[in-house]
Amino acid sequence: MDWEYFLELFLGGITRGSIYALIALGYTMVYGIIELINFAHGEIYMIGAFTALIIATVLTMAGFNQVAIVVIASGAAVLYSCAYGFTIEKLAYKPLRNAPRLSALISAIGMSLFLQNYVLLAQTSDFLPFPSLIPDFEFWEPYAHIISSQELVIIITTAIVMILLTFLIKFSKIGKAMRATAQDMNMAMLLGVDVNLVISATFIIGSATAAIGGVLIASHMGQINFYIGFIVGIKAFVAAVLGGIGSIPGAVLGGLVLGWTESFFAGYVSSDYEDVFAFIFLVFILVFRPSGILGRSVSRKV
Amino acid sequence: MKLFTISEIKKSFFIALWFMFLTFPIMVIRVNTVENEIKWRWENMLFIGLGSFFLSIIWRYTIEKKEAGEKKSETGKSAEISFFQQVVETPRFYVPATIVTGIFALVFPFIFSIYQTNIMITTLIYVMIALGLNIVVGLAGLLDLGYVAFYAVGAYSYALLNHHYGIGFWTALPIGAATAFTFGILLGFPVLRLRGDYLAIVTLGFGEIIRLVLENWNEFSFGPSGIDKISRPGLFGIELSLHGNIIYTYYLMIGLTLFTIFVVNRLKDSRIGRAWIALREDETACQAMGIDNTKTKLTAFALGATWAGIGGVVFAAKTTFINPASFTIWESIIILCIVVLGGMGSILGVILGAFILILLPEYLRAFSEFRMLIFGAALVIMMVFRPGGVISEVRKTYKFKK
Amino acid sequence: MKNTIGKLFCILTTGLLLMYSIHGCSFAPDTINLGVAGAHSGDLASYGLPTVKAAEIVIKEINAKGGVLGKKVRLLVEDDVCKPEIATNTATKLISKGAHVVIGHICSGATKAALGIYKESSIICMSPSATNTDLTLSGDYPNFYRTIAYDDAQAQLQVNYATKILKVKKVAVLHDKGDYGKGQAELSKKYFEKSGVKVVLFQGVTPGALDYTAIVTKVKREKVDLVVWGGYHPEASKIISKMRKNRMKTGFMGADGLKDKTFIKVAGKNAEGAYVTGPRDVSKNPLAIASKEAHRKAYSSDPGAFFDSAYAAAQALLNAIEKAGSTDYSAVSKALKTEYIETPLGKISFDKNGDATGIGFSVYQVKNGVFVEVN
């Protein structure tokens, strides 16, 4: 067994998985509360990446230094993604809260199409180079051939975001309100939880993690266009379901499992069929654990 | 509600400010990082501001009106049935309407251009497969996001049979339907235990698996370069010109669509159809009433797939060239949109949905690059204002007559 | 009730009027109608839109000089999103609107689906970008022409260069699973194997995937001399960057899908030394410079993919109509095959298959951030 080869595939899988996890979080949180597959979530991540690109380019032209650019551009990406997430919820989902669930799904699909074409028309259809916001660290040079410093930053940031989020959900007041709303929206309302506020907060937090994912992956890949949100969005959604939709640790685990599955299958068998295998694996898991790896199986009352 | 009170204007003003802020980086600044150029387009900000100011007034006004209407129908004893439904229900309206539509459909290819006929064929194909999906989603309540897989199975069965053995359209039609039916059962089995959105994601997975296999398995499916020169539908060996063939295909599709409507309509009122509706309403109660859930779900899946298979065969014959790019997840999503937007479970609704969703992007071509933007916005707006679809299904009610 | 019927009637009438206003504008008989079909929206829009702009610039110039055969040239632009099924609608729409000749389509698959329809209506179709070999060489589509060399020629050039000059022994061929990329990769593999070079790895990667560690690690383990890429630049720049970060010095070679400034810009110093085949260098051709200038003036940006070949296609078609003296199918076909015309690609005409003569491929290498011809 070639251990270095294994290690590289393993780490490659973590990098991939971390990004899936960051985006899957938004899906899983929204789903947990209003049971909606938010198809436009991938687009939020794309808009975050675009905002970062625009702000970073403007600042570079204005001659700011590297650290300021990174901080301001990422801050703007998070801010704008949150604003978009908030607005989309108010426009496209809130009026549909009492409607059949599939109607909200179609509304989400429409929103996703709208946002893609909005960026396409307002910006460009070409791939745009994305400045590398994450530098190559000097001290990491000796290990950089196994895992580059950018991938390292991705993994560490994801871990930090996860920990912060877990604390937020577990211990803060809004986190408690979120859990209550997820369990029973009407009951939470009766107990004085402002459900509209909770839903808005969920969209904002989900969008913020997506924006972080967007900035990280765009500077890792070095290029973006208006379509990047869709494919990754689908994959992240698969990850969320794999882990058990509605569960935050589930989203992380689902992302990592999906990343590893793809990475190892491509490495040891064939990258032709990596996606086929990933989907077969998903079907296999769901057949044996119908509510995902960490999902609670709900017993239904009769 | 008064439209132009101070507080309303103030509200709209703040909304306009918010949208100006929201769209600022993407609408105003355009960067080109290849050439390192930045273009500032401040005029866009003005448009956004003015546009969102007026649109927000209209938006709030219509939402309020809609909500008022909902309240009225909740409290009012005679819940107002929508205008469309009334038309559908009263023979005085629907008999002449059907006759007019029928005559219009018959003479259509002779009064409109070949392009119009061609897109009408496409629309009818979608009517047919959407009616198939309506069985799965609308009647049985199983959310299927990978429906396009069966469409691909039908299309590829005909394309491959035609390419290797020269088998004609009419022979391939039942074969394609049977293959899709078999696939429906095969894929149906593993997903029977799943509920709701887990089912959706697994079917999405199946859809992608079929597409990816077609894309990668060159020896079998000729990979991404596709299969060309598929024969058009034949008419007893008579050579038809392109125009003649399009007209012929059009009538063929009219026939197939009528057949589909007939079968689906009969199925809906049959024993199995009522079992599907029961399954959709409450799985557990349905089982308790002695309905075999497994069998009911499988028939829904397989029958839905059959129509996608037939649609696929016609699709391959119409385009004469197919490759896996036609069977992406977007296709599944569009078909699902047709079913939901038209009104789940309602046959007339699904037909109207297909006409709206397939013809809309074609007629929106006049707006060229804004086409898909408007289409996306239209989906959102239609759902917000008519969440039950254009025509929602009317439940059969039995009245005791004295 | 009455009120609702009135409302419905209003909606219906406006709808009908709208339909007519869109479709009622049938063509005036005294124009030459040049159809332009290709992907103008969706994920492949960036390969289709430059063609529209090229056609716009050409007809603006020609109309300023008095048009063709004394008639004004009118543009009919239709989007096919690079999907075969929409391409057939696009084709019938162009025919219904009275297009005399068509530039397009952009993708080989969509072109194949649409060509049958053009063929039966005797309409000549010229693509600036569909490189699938069968389109011209199979002889099935006599009405098809193109101003770009086909995949086969490019693959042979790549293999020749790799075996004769780079003297490679072992190669890995990767592709993006797409129509263009996989077709290209298969041809490269075929010619490599013919010339006795071992292709140890032939695999596709998923376009748009988040990272290519697995495939790069695999290439590293196989210890090949050269990686040949079939596909476009976005994936290629990710793969080559990952290779260089993993300290691999393996050579990299791609086809014309890579010959894009964005590739160098994205991959940066990692792109140095990569070999790329592409249409012969036209940057010194005065017409190419002029057309680029016209584009900058009209759209204040640099032209995109396939701009030069689209420009040439528009010129060649309109010139052929002028020389033929009518828009008649056989007369225009004859003119296309006999008349030469100066275009941004050089002086071109068309051979009996419909491929442009006088255009070809060269091998370029990335040196100091620009493509340098290295024959």
Which residues of chain A does C203 touch, with a Cβ-Cβ cutoff of 8 Å?
270-272
Query: Is residue C348 classed as helix, strand or coil in its secondary structure?
Result: strand
Mean pLDDT (whole number) for C125-154: 86
Give yes or no for a cis peptide into C23 (omega within 30° of 0): no
Can you give the pTM of this predicted structure?
0.85
In this structure, which CATH number among 3.40.30.10, 3.30.70.940, 3.20.20.70, 3.40.50.2300 belongs to the domain C152-273?
3.40.50.2300
**What backbone torsions phi and psi does residue C38 show, to the nearest 5 degrees?**
165, -175
Does the beta carbon of B26 lie under 8 angstroms from any beta carbon of chain A?
A: yes
Q: Where are the domains of chain A?
A: 16-226
pLDDT band at A298 (very low <50, low <70, confident <90, very high): low
| Torsion angle defined by CA atoms of residues A108, A114, A117 and A123, in that order, rounded to the nearest 10 degrees | -100
Which residues of chain C does A11 touch, with a Cβ-Cβ cutoff of 8 Å?
213
Instruction: Write down the pLDDT at residue C23.
Output: 46
Does the beta carbon of B204 lie under 8 angstroms from any beta carbon of chain A?
A: yes
Is residue B115 within 8 A of residue C96, CB to CB? The reply is yes
Residue the block writes with tokens 């973006």:
A224
Does the beta carbon of B83 lie under 8 angstroms from any beta carbon of chain C?
A: yes
CB < 8 Å from A in window 171-190 of C: 177
Percent of chain A as helix, strand, coil, to the nearest 5? 75, 0, 25
Look at A253-262, B324-333, C22-31, C275-284 and tell me which has the smallest mean pLDDT: C22-31
Residues B194-245 pLDDT 10s:
777 778 888 888 898 999 899 888 888 888 888 888 888 877 666 677 778 8
Instruction: Write down the pLDDT at residue B189.
Output: 83
Q: How many CB pairs below 8 A link A and C? A: 100
Q: Which two three-digit tokens encode residue C226?
A: 């050269």
Gap between the Cα atoms of B324 and B330, Å rounded: 12
From C19, which residue of chain B is nearest by alpha-carbon distance?
Answer: B363
Q: What is the CA radius of gyration of chain B?
A: 24
Give the nearest partner residue to A126 out of C217, C245, C262, using CB atoms.
C262
What's the gap in Å between the CA of B34 and the closest CA on chain C?
6
Q: Which two three-digit tokens encode residue C301?
A: 């940006």
Residues A239-262 pLDDT 10s:
988 888 878 888 899 999 999 998
DSSP string for B134-151: IIIIIIS----S-THHHH
Give the nearest partner residue to B118 out of C77, C89, C132, using CB atoms.
C89
Give the nearest partner residue to B323 out of C134, C179, C301, using CB atoms.
C179
Which residues of chain C does B96 touch, with a Cβ-Cβ cutoff of 8 Å?
none
Which residues of chain B does A243 touch, with a Cβ-Cβ cutoff of 8 Å?
none
What's the gap in Å between the CA of C32 and the closest CA on chain B?
20
From C26, which residue of chain B is nearest by alpha-carbon distance?
Answer: B113
pLDDT band at B79 (very low <50, low <70, confident <90, very high): very low
ipTM (interface predicted TM): 0.86
**Cβ pair A114:B212 closer than 8 A:** no
Give the nearest partner residue to B321 out of C23, C77, C113, using CB atoms.
C113
Burial of residue B236, with CB atoms counted within 10 A of its CB: 0-12 exposed, 13-18 middle, 19 or more buried: exposed
Amino acid at A161: V
Does the beta carbon of C204 lie under 8 angstroms from any beta carbon of chain A?
A: yes
CB environment C165-189: b (16+ within 10 A), e (fewer)? eeebeebbbbbbbbbbbbbbbbbbb
**Cβ pair B208:A58 closer than 8 A:** no
What is the sign of the dihedral through the CA atoms of B230, B236, B240 and B246? negative
Which residues of chain A does C268 touch, with a Cβ-Cβ cutoff of 8 Å?
222
Maximum mean pLDDT: which of B145-159, B186-200, C103-117, C139-153: B145-159
Residue C283: partners with Cβ closer than 8 Å, 6 or more residues away? C289
What's the gap in Å between the CA of B226 and the closest CA on chain A?
17
Which residues of chain C does B226 touch, with a Cβ-Cβ cutoff of 8 Å?
84, 109, 112, 179
The pLDDT of residue A229 is above 50: yes
User: How many C-beta atoms surround the C-beta of residue B279 within 10 A?
Assistant: 21
- Beta-bridged to residue C361, according to DSSP, are C279
Chain mean pLDDT for chain A: 86
**Cβ pair C262:A129 closer than 8 A:** yes
**Cβ pair A95:B344 closer than 8 A:** no
Residues B158-200 pLDDT 10s:
999 999 988 888 889 999 999 999 999 988 887 777 777 778 8
Mutate to test the interface with B, among C112, C131, C182, C237 (most CBs of B within 10 A): C112
Does the beta carbon of B368 lie under 8 angstroms from any beta carbon of chain C?
A: yes
**Cβ pair A126:C210 closer than 8 A:** no
User: How many C-beta atoms surround the C-beta of residue B195 within 10 A?
Assistant: 14
Residues C296-348 pLDDT 10s:
888 877 888 788 889 999 999 998 998 888 888 888 888 888 888 888 888 88
Which residues of chain C does A145 touch, with a Cβ-Cβ cutoff of 8 Å?
245-247
Q: What is the DSSP letter of C124?
A: E
Query: Is residue C362 classed as helix, strand or coil in its secondary structure?
Result: strand
Instruction: Write down the pLDDT at residue B72.
Output: 66
Q: Which two three-digit tokens encode residue C25?
A: 């504008």
| Torsion angle defined by CA atoms of residues A120, A124, A128 and A130, in that order, rounded to the nearest 10 degrees | -60
**Cβ pair C179:B114 closer than 8 A:** no
Could you check whether C31-148+284-359 and C152-273 share the same CATH topology?
Answer: yes
Gap between the Cα atoms of A149 and C259, Å rounded: 29
Instruction: Write down the pLDDT at residue A75.
Output: 93
Does the beta carbon of A114 lie under 8 angstroms from any beta carbon of chain C?
A: no
The pLDDT of residue B155 is above 90: yes
Instruction: Write down the pLDDT at residue C14.
Output: 47
Does the beta carbon of B8 lie under 8 angstroms from any beta carbon of chain C?
A: no
Which residues of chain B does C24 touch, with a Cβ-Cβ cutoff of 8 Å?
none
Percentage of chain A modeled with pLDDT above 70: 97
**Cβ pair C4:B83 closer than 8 A:** yes
Does the beta carbon of B58 lie under 8 angstroms from any beta carbon of chain A?
A: no
Does the beta carbon of C201 lie under 8 angstroms from any beta carbon of chain A?
A: no
For helices A248-268 and C213-222, the axis angle rounded to 10 degrees is: 20
**Cβ pair B333:A58 closer than 8 A:** no
The pLDDT of residue C203 is above 50: yes
Is residue C350 within 8 A of residue C337, CB to CB? The reply is yes
CA angle, corner B225, sides to B220 and B229, nearest 5?
A: 85
The pLDDT of residue B136 is above 50: yes
Mutate to test the interface with A, among C182, C217, C302 (most CBs of A within 10 A): C217
Mutate to test the interface with B, among A128, A286, A291 (most CBs of B within 10 A): A286
- Report all structural domains of chain B as residue ranges with CATH numbers, in order of start: 6-75 (no CATH), 112-385 (1.10.3470)
Mean pLDDT (whole number) for B128-151: 90
Q: Where are the domains of chain C?
A: 31-148+284-359, 152-273
CB < 8 Å from C in window 253-282 of B: none
Give the nearest partner residue to A110 out of B205, B288, B379, using CB atoms.
B379
Residues C245-280 pLDDT 10s:
888 888 899 888 888 778 888 888 888 888 988 888
Gap between the Cα atoms of C7 and C9, Å rounded: 5
CATH class of C31-148+284-359: alpha beta
Mutate to test the interface with B, among C21, C49, C93 (most CBs of B within 10 A): C93
What's the gap in Å between the CA of C248 and the closest CA on chain A?
9
Gap between the Cα atoms of A22 and B19, Å rounded: 27
Instruction: Write down the pLDDT at residue C12.
Output: 45
**Cβ pair B115:C22 closer than 8 A:** no
What's the gap in Å between the CA of C247 and the closest CA on chain A?
6
Amino acid at B90: T
Instruction: Write down the pLDDT at residue B306.
Output: 93
E strand or H helix that includes residue C158: helix C151-160
Which residues of chain B does A80 touch, with a Cβ-Cβ cutoff of 8 Å?
22, 25
**What backbone torsions phi and psi does residue A185 show, to the nearest 5 degrees?**
-65, -45
Does the beta carbon of A167 lie under 8 angstroms from any beta carbon of chain C?
A: no
